[in-house]
Amino acid sequence: MTSLLQNFQKTRAYSVELCSPLEIEDYIPQPVDFASPPKWHLSHSTWFFEEMILKKFVEDYQIFNPHFSFLFNSYYHAVGERAIRTERGTITRPTVSEVYQYRIYVDSHIEKLLKDDVSEELKELIILGINHEQQHQELLITDLKHTLSYNPINPVYKEKFNLTAQKNEEEGWLKISENIYEIGFEGEGFHFDNEEGRHKVFLHDFEISKSLVTNADFLEFIEDGGYENFKYWLDEGWNWVNENQIEAPLYWQKIEGNWYSYTLEGLKQIEPEDILTHISFYEAQAFANWKGCRLPTEFEWEAASNQLKWGKRWEWTYSAYLPYPKFKIAEGAVGEYNGKFMINTMVLRGASTATPKGHERNTYRNFFHPKYRWQITGIRLAK
């Protein structure tokens, strides 16, 4: 079980590393419903191991603190009452220090478990826990960026840590021919339930861009009045733009005629050749319309993925997040994982600079409501 243990330890250590530049104060706030504080991510990913594994596989396991089950549960309705999602930022106790003790306690028990031979069921749950924690690592850093961005003094998280300065390595269009393609996960490794049910999809001829849209491309859209012309927008997107007075990607601000963006290194001037990021599905779709192109479907993306460079940005597709044929929700709390969000969310494919190494897959189905922008999201065009 060495490699599983190592993988577990490496993952757990990476969460701590991500938090190493933080002050205690930074662990607390939750300015918006859709993001959570670092303290909560650290606790919740630990709670998952305690709740789903230690309580079931360790005889006479003493839970660290009964309050934690209540406080750090997330959506899992099947596992007792949960603290209100929108009030995570009010929970000052347990302290950050106690949360780290909780991590250490749970780690030591998991490590003990992994010293012996482990059943296939346990192994799978550990791997699920690792992947779960990796998902929360990505959220931890993007949520943190969002929280820090509220501070008018533009705090620096770390000197060399810019998630958004990335450039394209290829240009041009890739042609894919009409055919039946197999979509979904197949094989041995880890994957989420929503990728299962490998199935056939018929795709017509299409072309997909080898590069992602850049800041320079998007500035053209802005300067051409893209945000002011309803004809590029979905009706719901147009309402979103107007109600929220959206005039640029998230974190952008114009200062004395120049565009800047808040980054984890502080406020930085926009680099035109960098890949565009922090845009909503609405903006992605309006940009594609303006350009006379469209967004790819998730099936087109997956069929083309082996011939593309990807992994720097989550790429919005024009596919709603829906169950694959034969999708079955697992029994119990683990079954709440993904299926219940299959409505009014759009699929993003690829991975981003915030995605932990080894967590990416070309069958991975990320999903968010079309209005969200705080993830590292970008645009790849199709036609």
CB distance 137 to 15 below 8 Å: yes
Of the ranges 49-57, 104-112, 168-176, 195-203, which one interacts with its own copies (CB under 8 A)?
195-203
Of the ranges 102-110, 111-119, 199-207, 212-220, which one interacts with its own copies (CB under 8 A)?
199-207
CA separation for the pair 237, 225 (Å, rounded): 15
Residue 97 C-beta: closest distance to its own copies, Å:
9
Q: How far apart are the first and last CA of the chain?
A: 47
Of the ranges 72-80, 207-215, 244-252, 265-273, which one interacts with its own copies (CB under 8 A)?
72-80
The answer to whether 340 contacts its own copies (rule: CB under 8 A) is yes
The answer to whether 242 contacts its own copies (rule: CB under 8 A) is no
Of the ranges 7-15, 168-176, 229-237, 244-252, which one interacts with its own copies (CB under 8 A)?
229-237
CB distance 250 to 276 below 8 Å: no
CA separation for the pair 33, 207 (Å, rounded): 38
The answer to whether 238 contacts its own copies (rule: CB under 8 A) is yes
Q: Which residues of 241-276 are buried (b: 16+ CB within 10 A; e: fewer)?
A: beeeebebbbbbeeeeeebbbbbbbbebebbeebbb
Site for its own copies in 148-187 (CB under 8 A): 148, 150-153, 155, 180
Of residues 118 and 322, the one with the C-beta less far from its own copies: 322
For the chain, the maximum distance between any two Cα atoms, rounded to a whole number of angstroms, is 66
Of residues 31 and 358, the one with the C-beta less far from its own copies: 31
Of residues 29 and 350, the one with the C-beta less far from its own copies: 29
Tokens (6 digits) for 44: 């919740």
Residue 370: strand, helix, or coil: coil
CB distance 37 to 29 below 8 Å: yes
The site for its own copies (CB under 8 A) is made up of 23-29, 31, 39, 67, 70-71, 75, 77-78, 83, 87, 89-93, 95-96, 147-148, 150-153, 155, 180, 199-202, 204, 206, 230-231, 233-238, 281-282, 285, 289, 294, 318-320, 322-323, 325-326, 329, 336, 340-344, 346, 370
